[in-house]
Chain A
Amino acid sequence: QKEVEQDPGPLSVPEGAIVSLNCTYSNSAFQYFMWYRQYSRKGPELLMYTYSSGNKEDGRFTAQVDKSSKYISLFIRDSQPSDSATYLCATMNRDDKIIFGKGTRLHILP
């Protein structure tokens, strides 16, 4: 089993819709969870960084961690065409190694 599992998509939604992106992870010891956004031919950029369980909100973005089910989510409200990108979930093990999922390709249709 991979340490971080993520559906690669692609996921296409109309502009203005709420987007839900999800990942699962295998190791219950993981404490830090991140979402990165990657545009084509660019390096990933950090979107959200959360510790342990709960929700964190930043503008149109909400990150959610459910440690009991080892499930992490990213919600995007009022989605815009500029949100079209690949979204990578990531977690950090006890050796400070950041492990990424495969990424989900998101298309926001105007």
Chain B
Amino acid sequence: DTGVSQNPRHKITKRGQNVTFRCDPISEHNRLYWYRQTLGQGPEFLTYFQNEAQLEKSRLLSDRFSAERPKGSFSTLEIQRTEQGDSAMYLCASSLAGRTGELFFGEGSRLTVL
């Protein structure tokens, strides 16, 4: 399977714990996006990378959220001191620069904070 891969698919955690999600994009794609989606809403932009450079981070994202793409390949999204409001589906997508609107999404990582 050469699509976008996300792990874990589902994470249940207690409030205050840290969680980390991983995204493996399509290998030749240099752009990588993170989105958050809650029930009944469209995907909400969090951040995106071109290769290893983080180009933009949403102002809605608190300091508890951090994302990395250390070698321009896979990416991690870490949420520190989770809160119940962080419960959502976290979606990763990749694309080729120049064909940016053509996002290829993974199946998402669902976070439940108890």
What's the count of A-B pairs with C-beta under 8 Å? Answer: 62
Task: Judge whether B40 and A8 touch: CB under 8 Å.
Answer: yes
A residues near B4, Cβ cutoff 8 Å:
43
Stretch at the interface among B63-71, B77-85, B104-112: B104-112
In the assembled complex, the Cα of A99 lies from the Cα of B48 at a distance in Å of: 12
Q: Interface residues of B, CB < 8 Å — how many? A: 24
Task: Judge whether A43 and B105 touch: CB under 8 Å.
Answer: yes
Task: Judge whether A43 and B107 touch: CB under 8 Å.
Answer: yes
Q: Secondary structure at chain A's binding surface: helix, strand, loop or mixed? A: strand
Given contacts A8-B40, A103-B42, contact A98 B56 (CB under 8 A): no
In the assembled complex, the Cα of A83 lies from the Cα of B93 at a distance in Å of: 22
Q: Interface residues of A, CB < 8 Å — how many? A: 26
A residues near B31, Cβ cutoff 8 Å:
96
Given contacts A42-B107, A43-B91, contact A102 B100 (CB under 8 A): no
Binding site for A on B (CB under 8 A): 4, 31, 33, 35, 40-45, 48, 55-56, 91, 93, 100-108
18 A/B residue pairs, CB under 8 Å, sorted by A: A4-B42, A33-B101, A36-B103, A41-B107, A42-B107, A44-B91, A44-B105, A46-B104, A49-B101, A90-B101, A92-B101, A97-B45, A97-B48, A98-B33, A102-B41, A102-B42, A103-B41, A103-B42
